[in-house]
Amino acid sequence: MLGALTMEGARRHGVEKFVGVGTICAYPKMAAVPFQEGDLWNGYPEETNAPYGIAKKMLLVQGQAYRQEYGFNAIHLLPVNLYGPHDNFDPKSSHVIPALIRKFLEATDTGAPEVVCWGTGRATREFLFVEDCAEGIVRATEGYDGPEPVNIGAGFELSIRELAGLIGELTGFSGTLSFDPSKPDGQPRRMLDVSRAQRQFGFAATTDFRAGLRRTIEWYRAHRTGAA
């Protein structure tokens, strides 16, 4: 409803351009890796976040219909998992990177011998530093005018086990890392084909992943009371 009403309001008030920001959760659960924009409709999304992903896909369809019906300049971007300073570190609602950063720092502070992570650790993800995502949105706003969705990502893939090990290293955790396979892995793999963004409006992520994680960890260390 938010997307439908916002776009209709923008059309009625003569907004020059509407930039819809979708989600990688819109892709089919078993999409071929790397995810290409043309595969968006080739299956049902991963069940735990399918309603969210499908709602975002409707924003894409609405924009394409408005472009055809009214000549309305609506574009649609598909960012991959984001991370960075000012993220949500609440253990009840945070995503994987801030959740792991908090877990490892608290374990380091208390001298806990073990950190337990959800799932098997075999699922893979791709992560984009928030400032790179902002740059991609600005470039698309300024330079893209087309009906097709565009992936916004960094173009790499790593397992949750590798991610947890890296965050443990960067936070100084020296204990044991284990996984709880009774908890869900979510979508088995995620990685985007980012060639369309490069081709259409010259966007490519520039933040090194280790450097981005360090900046995120440093920000949380400096703002732990407020961030929590």
CA distances from 191 to 143, 161, 162, 170, 197 (A): 24, 16, 15, 23, 14
Residue 66 designated active-site: no
pTM: 0.93
Please state the rounded mean pLDDT for residues 182-210.
96
pLDDT of residue 91: 87
Q: Which domains occur in the chain, in start order? A: 2-7+16-227 (3.40.50.720)
Nearest partner of 152 among 112, 86, 187, 197, judged by Cα: 197
Q: 52, 83, 144, 220: which is the annotated catalytic residue?
A: 52
DSSP state, residue 38:
G
Confidence of residue 224 (pLDDT cuts 50, 70, 90): confident
Q: Which residues contact 63 (CB under 8 A, 6 or more apart)?
A: 7, 18, 20, 72, 74, 75, 76, 147
Summarised one tens digit per residue, pLDDT across range 37-50 is 999 999 999 998 99
pLDDT of residue 106: 95
Summarised one tens digit per residue, pLDDT across range 54-66 is 999 999 999 999 9
* Per-residue tokens: 148: 């097709």
Summarised one tens digit per residue, pLDDT across range 114-129 is 999 999 999 999 999 9
